[in-house]
Chain A
Amino acid sequence: MMPLLAAAPVYGLPSYLFVSALLFAIGFFGVLLRKNTLVIYMCLELMLLASTLALVAFSRFNGTLDGNVFVFFVLTIAAAEVAVGLAIIVALFRQRHTVSVEELNQLKH
């Protein structure tokens, strides 16, 4: 199988890193600005995906495979994190009947 990426692409490593940074920023602002815990979780996932894109891009442009292997671990951790996080959200919803972060402030008082 031939590599898809041309020898001298117009959009090289900086472009991929820029897309990754944009994705991370969108996820970050989602975590900051949204109130729904579930949507905050989705934004966390976006941030993780941005980091995987940076890893794959670095690995491709440096001619190694280690970054790609690391993405496997990131994906595994992300899956475990989503399972535990959603279980916590369901347990919280059972107790408080809300998923809004503004009303989940019991630790503050």
Chain B
Amino acid sequence: MADTLFLILSVLTVATALLVVVNKNAVNAAMFLLLSLVGLAGLFVLLDAPLLAFVLILVYAGAVVALFLFIIMLLDTTPGSFKPFKPLTITAAVLGAALLGLGVWTLVHRAELPLAPKSLPVATMKQYAEMLFTTYLLPVQVVGFLLLIAMLGVIVLSKKHVVREDAR
């Protein structure tokens, strides 16, 4: 059961991620990103992290993809003419693919990974909260500050700068 689900969800995730990259239309790419997120959330549920799947859908589908779509509509860009890739780009792509292949090969053949999952009950929200507010209290505070700084940065960036005459 879980194995069949894993196959279906991973194929969905990877195929739609591929469609995000090859799609010419930015709106369609955002929609396929949404589908890919649904597949990934399914994989999270399969890994016994339903709370994370919920948060992923909430944050990504609810905020990030909606923001993407909003900006795409706002900017209204037309797909430009296609220019051929530079030799440097092609070299980087080939090198990256080779490195990734080597990494996956090493992972499959050399690494000693635990094959069977440790048996433990599904983590509840209480357990997450306990960890977040004891062990990871400082990171939580730092992330809070980061969000504040990001918010201030966005406000400054999106303000229209009007140069007043007497200020010159």
User: Would you call the interface of chain A mostly helix, strand, loop, or mixed?
Assistant: helix
Bits for A58-76, please: 1 = Cβ < 8 Å to B, else 0.
Answer: 0011110110110111011
Cβ-defined contact, B20 with A43, below 8 A: yes
One of A1, A23, A65 near B127 (C-beta < 8 A): A65
| A41-B144 Cα distance, complex, nearest whole Å | 23
Residues of B105-153 at the interface with A, using a CB-CB cut-off of 8 Å, are 107-108, 111, 113-123, 127-128, 131-132, 135-136, 139, 143, 146-147, 150-151, 153
Bits for B52-72, please: 1 = Cβ < 8 Å to A, else 0.
Answer: 100110011001100110011
Residue tally, chain B, CB below 8 Å to A: 84
Cβ-defined contact, A60 with B6, below 8 A: no
| Known contacts A8-B115, A30-B21: A56-B49 contact under CB 8 Å | yes
Cβ-defined contact, B71 with A75, below 8 A: no
Contacts of A68 in B (CB 8 A): 49, 52, 123, 128
Q: Which residues of B contact A (CB under 8 A)?
A: 1-3, 6-7, 10, 13-14, 17-18, 20-21, 23, 26, 29-30, 33, 36-37, 40, 43-49, 52, 55-56, 59-60, 63-64, 67-68, 71-72, 74-75, 77, 79-80, 82-83, 85, 89, 92-93, 96-97, 100, 103-104, 107-108, 111, 113-123, 127-128, 131-132, 135-136, 139, 143, 146-147, 150-151, 153-154, 157-158
A-B contact sample (4 more), CB < 8 A, given A42-B33, A86-B71: A5-B117, A25-B97, A72-B52, A84-B157
